[in-house]
Amino acid sequence: MLRFHTQTAGSTLTLQQPDNNVVRVAFQALAAVLGGTQSLHTNSKDEALALPSESAVRLALRTQQVIAHETGVADVIDPLAGSYTIEALTDEIQARATSYIEKIDAMGGAVKAIESGFMQREIAESAYQYQREVETKTRTIVGVNDYKMDEPPLKDILRIDLEIERKQRKKLERVREKRDQGRVNEALAGIKKAAETTENLVPHIMDAVKFYATVGEVSNTLRQVFGEYEERV
Amino acid sequence: MAGRKIRVLIAKPGLDGHDRGAKVIARALSDAGMEVIYTGIRQTAEQIVTAAIQEDVDVIGLSCLSGAHMTLFPRVTEILRNRKAEDITVLGGGIIPFDDFATLKKAGIKEIFQPGTYTEDIIQYIKENVKPRQ
CA nearest to A233, candidates A91, A117, A66: A117
Contact list in A for residue B38 (CB cut-off 8 A) is 233
C-alpha A40/C-alpha A50 separation (Å) is 22
What would the pLDDT profile of A57-73 be if each residue is shown by its tens digit? 999 999 999 999 999 99
What would the pLDDT profile of B66-107 be if each residue is shown by its tens digit? 999 999 999 999 999 999 999 999 999 999 999 999 999 999
DSSP SS3 for B12: coil
What does the pLDDT read at residue A37? 95
Contact list in B for residue A157 (CB cut-off 8 A) is 97
**CB contacts < 8 Å between A and B, how many?**
57
What does the pLDDT read at residue A161? 87
pLDDT band at B2 (very low <50, low <70, confident <90, very high): low
At what angle are helices B20-31 and A118-135 packed, to 10 degrees? 70
Q: Which residue of B has its CA nearest to A16?
A: B116
Contact list in A for residue B98 (CB cut-off 8 A) is 153
Q: Name which of A154, A160, A223, A230 to mutate to probe chain B: the one with the most chain B Cβ atoms within 10 A of its Cβ.
A: A160
Contact B18 A10 (CB under 8 A): yes
CA distances from A43 to A1, A57, A155 (A): 26, 7, 19
**Residue of B18, B24, B40 with shortest CB distance to A231:** B40
Instruction: List, in sequence order, every beta strand (DSSP E) within B1-134.
Output: 7-11, 35-38, 59-64, 89-94, 111-113
**Residue of B40, B115, B119 with shortest CB distance to A233:** B40
Residues 7 through 46 of chain A touching chain B, CB cutoff 8 Å: 10-11, 13-16
C-alpha A79/C-alpha A86 separation (Å) is 11
What would the pLDDT profile of B111-120 be if each residue is shown by its tens digit? 999 999 999 9
Contact list in A for residue B118 (CB cut-off 8 A) is 134-135
* Residue A130 Cα to chain centre, angstroms: 19
C-alpha A83/C-alpha A77 separation (Å) is 14
Q: Which residues of B touch A (CB under 8 A)?
A: 18, 20, 23-24, 27-28, 38-41, 67, 70-71, 95, 97-99, 114-116, 118-120
Q: Which residues share a beta bridge with B113?
A: B93
C-alpha A1/C-alpha B24 separation (Å) is 36
Does the beta carbon of A233 lie under 8 angstroms from any beta carbon of chain B? yes
Q: The dihedral of CA B126, B129, B133, B134: what is its sign?
A: positive
Q: What is the residue-averaged pLDDT of chain A? A: 96
- The percent of residues in chain A predicted with pLDDT above 90, rounded, is 92
pLDDT over 80 at A232, yes or no: no
What's A145's DSSP letter?
A: T
Kindly tell me the burial class for residue A78, based on how many C-beta atoms sit within 10 Å of its own C-beta (0-12, 13-18, 19 or more).
exposed
Reported ipTM: 0.93
pLDDT over 70 at A233, yes or no: no
